[in-house]
Structure 1
Amino acid sequence: MKNAHGCYPVTALACSGAWLLAGEGPFLRIYSRTSITLKQSVAVFSETSIHGISLDTVDTNRILIWGGFYVAVLRVQGLSSESGALTIQFLVCPTKCADWILDGQFSHIVTDHPDKNETYGAALVTAHNALLLLQIDSSSWAVTVKVATSQSKSILYCARLSWEAPDRILIAAGTVFGQLLVWSASLKSSGVDAKLHKVFTGHEGSPFGLCISTSRTSKPSSNSLRLLGSCSDDRSIRLWDISDLSVLDVDPQAAADQASTSDVNTGFLSASTSSGHSKELVAQAMGHLSRIWGVEFLVDRVDSTSFELVTFGEDATCQYWRLEPTYDDQKGICTGVLENQGYQDRHAGKHIWSHALSNTSDGVFIATGGADGAITIQKQLAMGSSIAASTLAAGTGDHSTADQVLVPGKIRSYSFVTTDIILMASNEGEVYLAHLPLSVSSSSTFEASGLSWQHICHEADFAGFSMTASVTSLSLVFLAGKSGSLFAYSPRSGFCKLLDGKRKAAGVFARRSPEHKNRSPTAVCLLARLGDPVAVLIEIPPEDHSNARHARLTVPDGEVISTFAILPGLTDAQQIAIGFRSGRIALYEPILNTNLESTTPSPPILNQQIHSDAITDIATTLEANTPYHIFTCRDGSYSIHTLALTGLIKQHHLSIPLMTEASQILSSPTAGLLIAGFHRKSFTLWSASTEQHLFSISCGGSNRSWTYCPNHSDPGRGGTLAWTQASSLLLRTEAPDLTVVRINSGSHGREIKAVAVSPVDSAVGRLVATGAEDTDVKLHRVTDPRAGGGVALQCARTLRRHNTGVQCLAWSGDGEYLVSSGGCEELFVWRVRVLAEGEVGVVCEGVCPFVSEGGDLRVMDLVAERHEGRGLRIVACRSDGSVCVYSYELEGKGWNWDWVGRYGAGCLMGINSLRGLGGNVYLTTGTDGHGAVLELTEREGGAEVKDVEWKGRCKIHQNAVHAAEVLEWSGDTHLLLSGGDDNALSISLLRGSGQSVGTLTIPRAHAAALTALQVIGADTEKGRVLVATAGLDQRIKLWEVRVDAALQGVEGVQVKRVENRYTPVADVASICSWREGKEVVVLVCGVGWDVWRVNVRDRESG
């Protein structure tokens, strides 16, 4: 049994030139920042995660690593160069200290011994405010851990130490009671002299992060100023003046104990105790949506008078701050305002657990490690104009500024002619061209003084009302006015009238005709008028507006057009698709001719409901000669359909994360499928290929006039947004931040509660589904082994429909359907199919309509089985002790509630099918430690919802059963294996319809609750079962169970533990496995996931 790979929270980071060192579980992983690849990986500790990494500035190859009670020193040859191989050597093997280590640094002291060998040292600070000195003799590599100071009774939540001189260390510590202690230790030949300098109070919660600045010059007095930064779970950032380090006490530990037991209010110091140090509080501010885990000073230049900081929060964002301090000579205090400069979204879910700063010639780059297992490297946010902290705390702050464009008269409508020319019609009927100074690819903000204006014409029909639409690739704009007349403008052909009208325009939509070898591209416009049941379609060549062809399309009653598109085909024949606000799609096959009046209106050949809200855009991709039609919806979702004789068939439909309204479909040669839309008041661009947001622009939302022009050569490189705000036209060019580097795709941002693997012979291949407390369901492909060997999971789709944490996942036997359940009685059926190029298409086909009166129960576990060849039978157990049996029809998408049963007042935790007993017998386990057998029986003349028949129950654990699996053994005998809250593993034999004949319990199978169990091998002929278990003690164990069913009770059951290994995954909640050749791959999930390989062929032959 060997560990193959894993995805764990990144708990430590350090930058060394072109290398990034990360602590992931007990592993030190070294990545190349240039190639974004893993170069080396080594397990530093056996059963402890790495909590900190510190680099030696003298010997750049030496690394100090600590985690929990342990510390180690490594030498990595090759760190000083950007290329070449890396070799790792342990200078000091993991050494246990007397207390939990919070921070450490090399001392940078070199002392010459008579034998010319050097003695190196490092300092560590512990969770009880004690200073440890780590001394290493380079000749013998003997290590000595010296307790330099006594420890306090008060526990620290954070600490930071700084070497001020070869013989002096400055320590800042934050206690659980909200105090900040600043003390120093002088290293003398006679011992260590400790002195307390400051005791700060004021935080309403426990501090979790500290940082110490260098000395700066304050204005206007030119006094030297040094600050201590602190952050807390009260969501505040505070800066304290530590310029004066006069001695308050010669025993910092006793002073800390006295302060922590002085005036305490509900666990923290009351306001009266903090007032005495208010003059040393320079500035404070509130930030982030939740707790703040870390704070760092940024550009730490001595010649700079300002202080710049970055904070790292539980909300997975980095926020940037600036302070311009001023010194009041009369009062003798330093004050300032801590201003928020912006924020960066870094990770999925919650928590930034680690960070590191790298100062390069290109600027300051900040690496962050999250609970999602990903590492993000991004350039420091440019410190521009300040943004209110209250705005940033709500997550709606602006990343950039926009420039107001001043034109004669009020702008009524506008569209881009090209990427650097915009056409605008004023409220007075004037038409202008605005020439933008730079192309979209320059990704710069336009200034009003840089715009040049050109008056095109005056058109009375545009006075008071106008609408525009454009085809920028053909440099052509369509305009319509209050009479319903249609006009066109292009730089080559100028401004001309295309159609007369008598009704006010209701919508103008423009498209470029699809590429085809037999014809040149043309511009196609669809014009809808108020109260007119017929829409007009006009096609014109971009170079000759007079050579137009027309068609008329009948609009279904009550429908309002929201978009349209030309569907390309494999032949010259084309279809027109029109999307309506109702969510319906109509298809037409129009006949275009030059005479509009003689054209007969074309009725729709298809009118189908595909969405519940307005269709906002339509696009078609041709993959393997199969057209796939993509639709975006105003509800923030998109779907992919294929067209058959019966209509549009939905192949994929998912909501887009952090997008409340999807508006525009784009295709990029580098980024794949892109979708532009809005998240509340911000315009955002999202990549469907990587499931990442590329950028956002704060613009006030979609309820105002706007238009977006993507980069012509590659929409993945950004574009220009124009929008109206406060009667002014604003322009902003934005592009994805190419400096953002993401190492590892990461996983869920919260604990993974459920995992299920699809059958290998299914059409979609092997997919691993995971569901977590972040409410996401992810489908992963099992990819090729990564550097260092093993198995990696690559996320193929993220399914967002649940509003509560996911509790259970189950695949149908053919692997074509996935059933997920969660809180609030959420129960969904997902159809999973393969699209072109191996992409996975997912549609949420069914939502269980049956909920209780309160609707607040959790669906804890379920069994999904194909039933009678035409549907699914779903047997679900719920948190109120009830069992519900539903049938879901695959064709009609209908639900029936067939059976219901109530076990008792406790919570049912799991349910399993007893196969071989007619397919109607199931076993439930619950919080009372019992297993109960139920049967689904048909009763004549019964109610529509029938009652299940309970057959019996048996005691298998002292309390809650967390995991259970049932094996069909022989004849009418079943083997039940279970793990519970009593830390035990139980093996029970069931006869007949589930009657227990005995249970063998292995007490203390784990040191904490056994929460996950999986049978990874079974041979009924040899009477042998191989079981993998995992628990909250972060152990994964392998058990061999031998069963002789011929003996009475459990006399024939023998259990042997064959493996006992540590897993870095905390809060283990689920487990699954699959066979690969002679090995079984075991996937353990909790806070992250862990992959293990077990060679079962040797055990089967043994």
Structure 2
Amino acid sequence: GDAAEDAVGTPGRGAGTGVTSVTCHGDYIYSTGRDGCYRQLCLRDQQLEVLQKHRPCKGLQWIEELRFTPGGDLLVLGFHADDFVVWSTRSGVNLHCVPCGGGHRSWSYYSSPEADAFAYVKRGDVMLYHSQAEPCEQRVLLASLHGREITCVRHLGAVRVPGSHPVNIFITGSEDTTACVLTLSELTRAAVPLARLSDHISSVRALALADTALHDGTQLCSLLFSAGGRAQIECYRLQCAVDLGAEGTVSCQVAHVASHRLDEHWDRMKNRHKLVKMDPETRYMSLSVVCGTNSEQLPMPCTFLVAACSDGSVRLFVLLEAAQKLLLVAESFHHQRCVLKVEAFLHTRAEERKHLLCSAATDGSVAFWDITKMRPLALGTPLLTVMAHSCGVNSLHIQELPEGQFLVASGSDDGSIHVCLLEVTRGDDKAEPGTCLHILEHVARPCTHAAHVTGIRVLRPDLVLSASVDQRLTLWQLSWDSLEELSTTFFHVPDLAELDCWEVAEAGGERRWYCVLCGQGLELLRCAALDTHSKLQSQGAAQ
């Protein structure tokens, strides 16, 4: 502004190693920089707030400018080594790559449906690159969501478009280092990306959601955690809404909240020479949000997150959203080997609340912890450990039952399924009553699948759903003397990594479950559980 009181800014939060351009589009401000990123900002209370940082493609070290096309594409203009590059964020490809000698030169780019031109100065001469539009001989039959396999998926929820069916919204993570927010339609069988998150420097292996809320059936809000390689966790605030002015399409606004890296945490620690150095190559294998937490020791609302780690530890983090900080508060190396899965669950009785945690490792063991007091630095020791399988536990799910009981289902690399009935009681010590866990019943069935069981869900107390790398999705009838197969269908996704399930109440009182599977692709299936029998219906959308 002209006056000093009208000036706004965000010191130290610009575009990294030098801002090259600033532009306004819609209600947001975009900046580009020589760090290979562009940032989306908004103006709040006369301050610029960075919502999200985007890294369009690997190797693009110097971004000069952004162009918003009438067709809704965002073009990123910059330099990669000695080349001038025009990158399409919609298609994820280079539209032009012109050898010019690199940055630090005067240049100009013009684009139209008929032709493209790039003029630049090189050694005192004005050079012109001219390209006319040509008919494309290739046709994309099905656009890809990710450049590599999808490692994790979560169902965020569904929004209702007026005059149409509900639109399901998902988040996927991939080996290509990105996470994607997308809609997947059962009717059109099409997947439409809404937002792409590119803050990770290695693969995204785990996702977790917290504080998910649906407003008026047309807007979904949630807190998203993503984690994976290089010991990195990112946190975002998502807002997905139906755009009534754009033919009922769905839009997604992403705001980056906080991040954490173990190597950065190590650099800030005191007395590091007295401790075993953290491995910066640690991979986070699984995430789980501790629901309903309320810590009196912290001065602001917080969210706790548990992570399964490849270095053999179970780590507990706390998110201070107002301060935009994600802090490591406790850890345990009880398993002494790679921890594959974690699942936090809440036990309530009268006014008593117990926060419990289940972790599973590559040796087939499943451990149960009481993390109610959440002591700093150490998680303590598990209350109970069960050798559920002969090798790695690749799927885990916990379903609450009445009277303080829980069903714990797990699937293993050896193709087996294990289900146990867990009871939570109070200890006998009246001075300081603790938590006691008891296994009341259990059932194990070997060779349920011909390969790793990478997805399992307890749909109801007598119904279990499992999915495997053998590309079979199976419904099981659960009783404490057997696990009987009810129905099996083959799905189309190779190398299944994970599944997610949710229940939908349909007209007529019929109970249905939907499940989404990810691996070398993405697929949506429907499960109908009737009073007399259950069956799987292989219909939905595949990507």
Letter in 1 for 2:317: Y
> What residue is the counterpart of 1:819 in the other structure?
225
Letter in 1 for 2:527: V
Output the CA distance in 2 between the equivalents of 1:1065 and 1:834. Answer: 27
Alpha-carbon displacement from aligned partner over 1:10-31 (angstroms, at most 9, x marks no partner): xxxxxxxxxxxxxxxxxxxxxx
Match for residue 723 of structure 1 among 120, 140, 155:
120
Output the CA distance in 2 between the equivalents of 1:652 and 1:1100. Answer: 48
> What residue is the counterpart of 1:773 in the other structure?
175
Alpha-carbon displacement from aligned partner over 1:410-451 (angstroms, at most 9, x marks no partner): xxxxxxxxxxxxxxxxxxxxxxxxxxxxxxxxxxxxxxxxxx
> What residue is the counterpart of 2:99 in the other structure?
698
Match for residue 21 of structure 2 among 604, 607, 617:
617
Alpha-carbon displacement from aligned partner over 1:543-594 (angstroms, at most 9, x marks no partner): xxxxxxxxxxxxxxxxxxxxxxxxxxxxxxxxxxxxxxxxxxxxx236xxxx
Output the CA distance in 2 between the equivalents of 1:822 and 1:762. Answer: 32
Q: Do the aligned partners of residues 880 and 641 (structure 1) sit closer, same or farther apart at CA in structure 2, a change above 3 Å counting? A: closer
Alpha-carbon displacement from aligned partner over 1:433-487 (angstroms, at most 9, x marks no partner): xxxxxxxxxxxxxxxxxxxxxxxxxxxxxxxxxxxxxxxxxxxxxxxxxxxxxxx
Match for residue 910 of structure 1 among 336, 341, 344:
341
In the TM superposition, 1:182-197 aligns within 5 A as none
Match for residue 256 of structure 2 among 833, 836, 844:
844
Task: Confirm or deny: 8 A CA contact 2:487 2:534 kept in the other structure.
Answer: no
Letter in 1 for 2:81: R
Task: Confirm or deny: 8 A CA contact 1:651 1:833 kept in the other structure.
Answer: no
Give the stretch that moved more between structures: 630-639 or 968-977. 630-639
What displacement does 1:1059 show? 1.6
What displacement does 1:928 show? 1.4
Alpha-carbon displacement from aligned partner over 1:17-55 (angstroms, at most 9, x marks no partner): xxxxxxxxxxxxxxxxxxxxxxxxxxxxxxxxxxxxxxx
Output the CA distance in 1 between the equivalents of 2:45 and 2:466. Answer: 51
> What residue is the counterpart of 1:979 in the other structure?
411
> What residue is the counterpart of 1:9 in the other structure?
none
Task: Confirm or deny: 8 A CA contact 1:694 1:736 kept in the other structure.
Answer: no
Output the CA distance in 2 between the equivalents of 1:1066 and 1:736. Answer: 38
What displacement does 1:747 show? 2.6
> What residue is the counterpart of 1:449 in the other structure?
none
Letter in 1 for 2:525: W
Letter in 1 for 2:100: C
> What residue is the counterpart of 2:369 in the other structure?
934
In the TM superposition, 1:83-98 aligns within 5 A as none
Task: Confirm or deny: 8 A CA contact 1:818 1:830 kept in the other structure.
Answer: yes
Task: Confirm or deny: 8 A CA contact 1:933 1:950 kept in the other structure.
Answer: yes
> What residue is the counterpart of 2:487 in the other structure?
1059
Letter in 2 for 1:677: G
Output the CA distance in 1 between the equivalents of 2:532 and 2:172. Answer: 29
What displacement does 1:753 show? 1.5
Q: Do the aligned partners of residues 843 and 721 (structure 1) sit closer, same or farther apart at CA in structure 2, a change above 3 Å counting? A: same
In the TM superposition, 1:255-270 aligns within 5 A as none
> What residue is the counterpart of 2:199 in the other structure?
801
In the TM superposition, 1:576-587 aligns within 5 A as none
Match for residue 1024 of structure 1 among 450, 456, 462:
462
Output the CA distance in 2 between the equivalents of 1:784 and 1:681. Answer: 45
Output the CA distance in 1 between the equivalents of 2:160 and 2:324. Answer: 22
Alpha-carbon displacement from aligned partner over 1:797-822 (angstroms, at most 9, x marks no partner): 22222222222111113152211111
Letter in 1 for 2:222: E
What displacement does 1:1000 show? 0.7
What displacement does 1:1077 show? 4.7
Task: Confirm or deny: 8 A CA contact 2:149 2:520 kept in the other structure.
Answer: yes
Q: Do the aligned partners of residues 821 and 667 (structure 1) sit closer, same or farther apart at CA in structure 2, a change above 3 Å counting? A: closer
What displacement does 1:652 show? 3.8
Task: Confirm or deny: 8 A CA contact 2:411 2:417 kept in the other structure.
Answer: yes
> What residue is the counterpart of 2:470 in the other structure?
1033
What displacement does 1:736 show? 6.1
Q: Do the aligned partners of residues 800 and 1101 (structure 1) sit closer, same or farther apart at CA in structure 2, a change above 3 Å counting? A: closer
Output the CA distance in 2 between the equivalents of 1:922 and 1:667. Answer: 47
> What residue is the counterpart of 2:322 in the other structure?
891
Task: Confirm or deny: 8 A CA contact 1:899 1:948 kept in the other structure.
Answer: no
Task: Confirm or deny: 8 A CA contact 1:706 1:721 kept in the other structure.
Answer: no
Output the CA distance in 1 between the equivalents of 2:225 and 2:488. Answer: 33
Task: Confirm or deny: 8 A CA contact 1:775 1:800 kept in the other structure.
Answer: yes
Output the CA distance in 1 between the equivalents of 2:346 and 2:211. Answer: 14
> What residue is the counterpart of 2:131 in the other structure?
734
> What residue is the counterpart of 1:957 in the other structure?
389
Task: Confirm or deny: 8 A CA contact 2:358 2:368 kept in the other structure.
Answer: yes
> What residue is the counterpart of 1:864 in the other structure?
289
Match for residue 402 of structure 2 among 939, 964, 970:
970
What displacement does 1:675 show? 2.6
Letter in 2 for 1:757: H
Output the CA distance in 1 between the equivalents of 2:211 and 2:529. Answer: 24
Task: Confirm or deny: 8 A CA contact 1:633 1:661 kept in the other structure.
Answer: yes
Task: Confirm or deny: 8 A CA contact 1:978 1:1013 kept in the other structure.
Answer: yes
> What residue is the counterpart of 2:57 in the other structure?
657
Output the CA distance in 2 between the equivalents of 1:750 and 1:960. Answer: 24
Secondary structure of the 1:607 match is coil
Match for residue 77 of structure 2 among 676, 698, 707:
676
Secondary structure of the 2:9 match is strand
Q: Which runs of 5+ in 1 are unaligned?
A: 1-587, 591-601, 1043-1049
In the TM superposition, 1:626-637 aligns within 5 A as 627-637=27-37
Letter in 1 for 2:125: S
What displacement does 1:1010 show? 1.3
1:1001 aligned to 2:444? yes
Alpha-carbon displacement from aligned partner over 1:968-1019 (angstroms, at most 9, x marks no partner): 112221101111012111111111144323421111101122122133x32x
Sequence identity, in percent? 20
Match for residue 925 of structure 1 among 341, 350, 360:
360
What displacement does 1:726 show? 4.2
- RMSD over aligned CA atoms reads 2.9
Q: Do the aligned partners of residues 850 and 731 (structure 1) sit closer, same or farther apart at CA in structure 2, a change above 3 Å counting? A: same
Q: Do the aligned partners of residues 919 and 694 (structure 1) sit closer, same or farther apart at CA in structure 2, a change above 3 Å counting? A: farther
What displacement does 1:757 show? 1.3
Output the CA distance in 2 between the equivalents of 1:748 and 1:935. Answer: 38
Secondary structure of the 1:915 match is strand
Q: Tell which structure's C-alpha radius of gyration is larger.
A: 1
Task: Confirm or deny: 8 A CA contact 2:167 2:185 kept in the other structure.
Answer: no
Task: Confirm or deny: 8 A CA contact 2:150 2:520 kept in the other structure.
Answer: yes
What displacement does 1:832 show? 1.9
Task: Confirm or deny: 8 A CA contact 2:413 2:453 kept in the other structure.
Answer: yes
Give the alignment's TM-score, normalised by structure 2.
0.80
What displacement does 1:853 show? 2.8
What displacement does 1:688 show? 3.6
Task: Confirm or deny: 8 A CA contact 1:954 1:996 kept in the other structure.
Answer: no
Alpha-carbon displacement from aligned partner over 1:1075-1101 (angstroms, at most 9, x marks no partner): 445443221211222222222356689
- Aligned residue pair count: 474
Give the alignment's TM-score, normalised by structure 1.
0.41
Letter in 2 for 1:855: P
Alpha-carbon displacement from aligned partner over 1:907-938 (angstroms, at most 9, x marks no partner): 11101123225352101111111110112253
Q: Do the aligned partners of residues 850 and 749 (structure 1) sit closer, same or farther apart at CA in structure 2, a change above 3 Å counting? A: closer
Output the CA distance in 1 between the equivalents of 2:183 and 2:525. Answer: 16
Letter in 1 for 2:443: L
In the TM superposition, 1:258-337 aligns within 5 A as none
Alpha-carbon displacement from aligned partner over 1:705-759 (angstroms, at most 9, x marks no partner): 1312323xx4x66532222334433210236654153221123232222111114
Task: Confirm or deny: 8 A CA contact 2:465 2:474 kept in the other structure.
Answer: yes
Q: Which runs of 5+ in 2 are unaligned?
A: 213-220, 264-276, 295-299, 425-435, 507-511, 536-543
Match for residue 945 of structure 1 among 365, 372, 377:
377
